[in-house]
Amino acid sequence: MRPIPKPVYERDINRLVGYYKKTFTKIADRLKVIPASGGLEKAYAESLLSQIMVILRDLDGSTKTWCEQVIKEAFTGAQAQTILALGDASSLSEAASSISFSMLARERTEALINDTYTDLLMATQNTERKIKQLVRSTVSETLRVKALEQMGRRTMKRDIVGDLTHKGLSAKLDSEVWVGIVDRAGRRWNLSTYTEMVVRTKLTQAHIEGTRVETMERGVDLAVISSHNAKDACRS
C-alpha cells in the first residue's frame, strides 16, 4: 500500500476564518455609531441589535454551508487517496469516481458535519450574548450620563463617557465580545483562533475517518508501525 499524503486544508480554513473576520468588521462598523451619537437610546439599541443579529445569522448560514461542503470533501478525498494507495485505481480522479459513499460513510460524514457546526455555533452564540450585553450596558450607561448631567456630577459623567468612546468600545469588543470560549483552564480563545482550531481538528478527523471507513469496507486492516528503536524489517 502506497503512503497516503498528508492533506492540506489551509485554503479552506482561511476561507472560513475570513467569514468571521468579515463579520467582526461589519459588527464593529455598526457599533461605531454609538460614540458618534453621544450614547445609545433604547429604541435605537433594539434596531442596532436587529441589524447585528442579521449579520450573525448570515455567518451561521455561511458556516453551515462550509461545514457541509468541506467536511464531506475531506472525507471523500481521504477515501479516494486510500483507493489509490491500495492500487485499486491508477489515478486520483479514477479513485474518486469509484467511491461508493455507503450508508456508513454517509452517517460518519453527517456526524462530523453536525459536530463541527455545533462547536462553531456554540462560540458564535456566546459572541451574540456578549454583544447583547454590551449594547444593553451602553444603553444603561447613556441613561446614567443623562442623570448625572441633571445632577451636575461632571467627574463621574466624564468617566462614563470615556467608556462610551470608540476606544472604550473597541477595548470591550477585544476583551469580551470577540472571545469565542473560555476553556476549563481559564484561557480565553479569540473567536477566529477558536474557529481555526476546531475546523483543523475536525478536518483531520474527517480524513482519518474517510481512510478508516474505506479500508474497512474493502477488507483491509490498518496498523501504525513505529520506526522508533525498531531493529527488524518492520522499521520504515
Residue 179: beta bridge partners? 190
Residue 140 pLDDT > 80: no
Question: Which pLDDT score, from 0 to 100, does residue 166 have?
Answer: 47
Task: Compare 101 and 209 and report the one with higher pLDDT.
Answer: 209
What pTM did the predictor assign? 0.75
What gap in Å lies between CA 174 and CA 170, rounded to an integer? Answer: 6
Question: Tens digits of per-residue pLDDT, 87-99?
Answer: 888 888 999 998 9
What gap in Å lies between CA 59 and CA 123, rounded to an integer? Answer: 12
What gap in Å lies between CA 61 and CA 70, rounded to an integer? Answer: 14
Instruction: Evaluate whether 161 touches 36 at the Cβ level (below 8 Å).
Output: no
Question: Tens digits of per-residue pLDDT, 64-111?
Answer: 999 999 999 999 999 999 999 888 888 889 999 989 889 999 999 999
